[in-house]
Structure 1
Amino acid sequence: MTGQPNPVEALAAALIAARRSHHPMVRDEADRLGEMIGPDGAYAVQQLVCDACGPAVAWKTGRKRPEDPVIAAPVLEGGLRASGAAFSTRELGACGVELEIGFRLERPLPPLDSPDFPTLARACVTPIPVIEIVDGRMDGFMEATPLAKLADNQINGGLVYGTPSEAGGLDLGQPEVRLTFNGQDVVSGRQPVPGGDAFSVFMAFARMVGTHCGGLRPGQIVTTGSLSGLPFVPPGTRIDGWIAGLGHVRTAFVEANADGGQDAAMSGQRSSHGHRSS
């Protein structure tokens, strides 16, 4: 007689099925299983999902306050795109937008116990502008419990990265930013990094991630927390983010055509959601 899957396996299997079918799992079930497994179990779910749907190509991290521990959530293959690329309704059930400072790892980090680890590590990364796309594999994912969200890769739907185009002037604690949807300002002015200095958030992540989902590897990008809240947009939205000292990063949320392509005109409407935090 075959036993029932444990809660970690059950939640991972449901999230893998949701990713492959593009049909979300029931949030109440995700919440129930999430409360049974705790944080370690949520990371175990991430690992199983990464094994099935990965590899990890980037990372989401952050914290609400400088004294809080950071979380880790992999961005999986297919979700990382260069500035200018779009996401379609065939890929996303919803499109939340977070403008962030990211760090791209250019070479392996020094040993964590190095006396000058922060200084040495700073020479290994390049800060870049990024837009995180927020979407979940649960229905009503914004109302899910924290552990269910963590198990679902902290409801990451994708990541768009820009190329630094402005020399100097980057404030890692409270940069000047601008986020526009179809040319209309949504957020502008100086905005604080939620967990304090962005590089300190990156450092905390580097110290905690270990070998989880393959660990932090050269070429990967790490986000550090939203500078724009979490507004949701309908299809047909052009998204342009700017961070002083880094430059622009752009993407769009578009309707998928019946043949599986994307609507170049970005037409169509769908109800939008309010500003939240993932």
Structure 2
Amino acid sequence: MRRYGARVIAVRPDRFVAAAAARLRTAAASGTPAAPVRDLIGRDDVEAAYAVQQRLASERIAAGATVVGRKIGLTSPAVQQQLGVDRPDFGFLFDDMEYAEGSAVPFDAVLQPRVEAEIAFVLGADLAEGPLDDAQVRAAVSYAVAAIEICGSRVAGWDIGFGDTVADNASAGGYVLGTRRVPLTDFDPVAAEMTMTIDGETVSTGSGGACLGDPVNAVVWLARQARALGEPLRAGQVALSGALGPMRPVTPGAAVHATVTGLGTVSVAFSS
């Protein structure tokens, strides 16, 4: 048994973690979504799920990928309701996951793609020591930008529970950052309003307050979790703070545009 926060959980045999990682690895390599992994690691075994995530991340790093930040997921009540979960999670962002603002992403680059609009924070200082409280995190943020996250699931039909999405790198696929960089001294994340359109139709709206009450709260949570797991946030890294409104699926040829008040716009298209 091990303690994770306030909960004591059973440690699953490593063969189940390895089997779950193999299932997700095969899905990513083949482009064919797989069955959920909760039959192997459980629906809510936090430690086992992050063990799978770390195993797959380590493999990507060994193959030459570079960690450039983290994504926080499941911060919005709307998204939690969509996916039937009740707590945030996080995953790794790698250098090959960023797409330029206004670019066209090959539709098959991300399995079962869905999009959500959010606020991204770029760090100017490490978050490795100290209390990692609101004041420290705000001081560490160099600037905020509007962002579109391209979520993807290696699990067929997005049939995911909490353990499935954590193991699957928090359903990360890619991301796009806007070009307007605004320091927190000139921007209030809570007051920000978001509108996202697909092919000109409004499909998602929300506000900064929908992200754990304040998107900075999400980064505080992330900083503490990342340090607790031995890989703290570093200067220069990106923190995608979580959706401000519902996540939406996209189809080949779709054009996505998001506006976040105070941060401007960000857009991406999907080639067929």
1:45 paired residue number:
52
2:41 paired residue number:
34
2:135 maps to which of 106, 115, 119: 119
Residues 212 and 22 (structure 1), Cα distance of their counterparts in 2 relative to 1, 3 Å cut: farther
Distance (whole Å) between structure 2 residues aligned to residue 53 and residue 124 of structure 1: 27
Moved more, 71-80 or 236-245: 71-80
Contact 1:47 1:212 in 2 (8 A): no
1:270 paired residue number:
none
Q: Is the radius of gyration larger for structure 1 or structure 2?
A: 1
Moved more, 165-174 or 237-246: 165-174
Distance (whole Å) between structure 2 residues aligned to residue 188 and residue 145 of structure 1: 24
- Tell me if 1:248 matches 2:265: yes
Q: In the TM superposition, what whole-angstrom CA distance separates every residue of 1:158-204 from its partner, at most 9, and x where no partner exists? A: 11111225787633224222212223332357564231111111111
2:109 paired residue number:
91
One-letter amino acid of the counterpart of residue 104, structure 1:
V
2:166 paired residue number:
150
Distance (whole Å) between structure 1 residues aligned to residue 207 and residue 44 of structure 2: 39
1:260 paired residue number:
none
2:6 paired residue number:
none
How well do the aligned residues superpose, as a CA RMSD in angstroms?
2.6
1:21 maps to which of 20, 30, 55: 30
1:232 is displaced (CA, Å) by 0.8
Contact 1:58 1:80 in 2 (8 A): no
Residues 145 and 36 (structure 1), Cα distance of their counterparts in 2 relative to 1, 3 Å cut: closer
Name the % identity. 29
Residues 247 and 165 (structure 1), Cα distance of their counterparts in 2 relative to 1, 3 Å cut: farther
Distance (whole Å) between structure 2 residues aligned to residue 71 and residue 185 of structure 1: 27
Structure 1 gaps of 5+ residues are: 256-278
1:148 is displaced (CA, Å) by 0.9
- Matched ranges for 1:39-188 at <5 A: 39-54=46-61, 55-62=66-73, 63-64=75-76, 70-109=88-127, 111-113=129-131, 117-125=133-141, 126-141=143-158, 143-164=159-180, 170-188=187-205
- Matched ranges for 1:173-212 at <5 A: 173-188=190-205, 190=207, 192-210=209-227, 212=229
Distance (whole Å) between structure 2 residues aligned to residue 110 and residue 59 of structure 1: 14
One-letter amino acid of the counterpart of residue 240, structure 1:
H
What is the count of residue pairs matched by the alignment?
245
One-letter amino acid of the counterpart of residue 237, structure 1:
A
- Matched ranges for 1:236-275 at <5 A: 236-255=253-272
Distance (whole Å) between structure 2 residues aligned to residue 201 and residue 163 of structure 1: 22
Which is richer in strand?
2
* SS of residue paired to 1:224: strand
Q: In the TM superposition, what whole-angstrom CA distance separates every residue of 1:106-141 from its partner, at most 9, and x where no partner exists? A: 222362237xx5324312211111111111112112
Q: In the TM superposition, what whole-angstrom CA distance separates every residue of 1:4-54 from its partner, at most 9, and x where no partner exists? A: 961111111221222222222223xx1201317811011111111001124
Distance (whole Å) between structure 2 residues aligned to residue 248 and residue 105 of structure 1: 20
Residues 22 and 77 (structure 1), Cα distance of their counterparts in 2 relative to 1, 3 Å cut: farther
1:266 paired residue number:
none
One-letter amino acid of the counterpart of residue 168, structure 2:
D
Distance (whole Å) between structure 2 residues aligned to residue 139 and residue 242 of structure 1: 31
Structure 2 gaps of 5+ residues are: 1-12, 78-85
One-letter amino acid of the counterpart of residue 34, structure 1:
I
